[in-house]
């Protein structure tokens, strides 16, 4: 048997699981603070407040008293932080997004600089402006030769291609678009 509660509109007794009051037709809703979405939201707000309130503390756990080098590094970082924050604030959001996407492509797909630029600006790809894509290419931390080597290993292992065919694929405008120097590095370092 269902628990009985009082209707908030007409004060008649109704089942707690009833969607609406049979007497007045008013909806029988849970208070917002008892709903699942509110509980989840409150959880994230509390966790965010607890984790975000600690400030920026840098500690080193070397097991020794330290050499003083850590202190000077922290002082330099703190002195430089406002300048870096100002530079970061001056960068448009689109440029920052393009840089994050460029890093993802470089790290996960080992793309070339030209291939990455094409992906960022393609109407079938990311559709970033040429300026945002160029900013991303100029600022992404990528080792293009290592990316070429990773691609070469993939072609060699999964497609059983010869070194000559791998080189052609790496340098092709219809392929990976690595420079000849990057492709040669890859071929020279294949096992």
Q: Indicate which CATH number applies to the domain containing 97.
A: 1.10.10.10
- What mean pLDDT do residues 31-60 have? 64
Residues in the chain: 191
Token pair of 1, please? 């048997």
User: Where residue 138 falls among pLDDT bands split at 50, 70, 90?
Assistant: very high
- What mean pLDDT do residues 98-111 have? 91
Mean pLDDT is lowest, of 23-32, 89-98, 175-184, for 23-32
| Same domain, yes or no: 97 and 135 | yes
Structure-model confidence comparison of residues 183 and 79, the more confident one: 183
| Same domain, yes or no: 131 and 155 | no
Between CA 95 and CA 89 the distance in angstroms is: 11
| Same domain, yes or no: 134 and 155 | no
Token pair of 40, please? 């989840």
pLDDT on residue 17: 76
pLDDT on residue 88: 66
Digit-coded pLDDT (tens) for 27-43: 776 665 666 666 777 77
Alpha helices in 53-162 (DSSP H): 69-90, 93-109, 113-121, 130-139, 144-159
pLDDT on residue 81: 45
What is the reported pTM? 0.53
Domain that holds residue 169: 144-188
Q: Residue 33: inside a domain, yes or no?
A: yes
| Same domain, yes or no: 152 and 118 | no
Which residue(s) pair with 4 in the sheet?
15
Q: Residue 58: inside a domain, yes or no?
A: no
Domain count, the chain: 3
pLDDT on residue 45: 76
Q: Residue 118: inside a domain, yes or no?
A: yes
Q: Residue 52: inside a domain, yes or no?
A: no
Q: Residue 172: inside a domain, yes or no?
A: yes
pLDDT on residue 83: 40
Token pair of 58, please? 């840098």
Token pair of 73, please? 């590094």
């Amino acid at each position: 048997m269902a628990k009985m509660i009082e209707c908030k509109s007409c004060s008649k007794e109704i089942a707690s699981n009833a969607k609406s009051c049979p007497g007045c037709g008013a909806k029988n809703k849970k208070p917002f603070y008892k709903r699942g979405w509110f509980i989840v939201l409150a959880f994230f707000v509390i966790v965010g407040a607890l984790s975000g309130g600690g400030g920026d503390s840098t500690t080193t756990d070397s097991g020794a008293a330290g050499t003083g080098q850590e202190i000077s590094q922290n002082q330099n970082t703190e002195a430089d932080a406002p300048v870096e924050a100002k530079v970061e604030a001056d960068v448009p959001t689109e440029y920052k997004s393009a840089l994050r996407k460029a890093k993802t492509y470089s790290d996960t797909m080992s793309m070339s600089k030209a291939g990455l630029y094409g992906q960022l600006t393609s109407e079938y790809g990311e559709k970033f402006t040429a300026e945002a894509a160029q900013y991303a290419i100029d600022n992404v931390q990528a080792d293009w030769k290592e990316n070429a080597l990773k691609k070469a290993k993939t072609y060699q292992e999964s497609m059983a291609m010869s070194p000559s065919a791998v080189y052609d694929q790496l340098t092709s405008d219809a392929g990976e678009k690595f420079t000849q120097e990057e492709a040669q590095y890859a071929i020279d370092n294949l096992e």
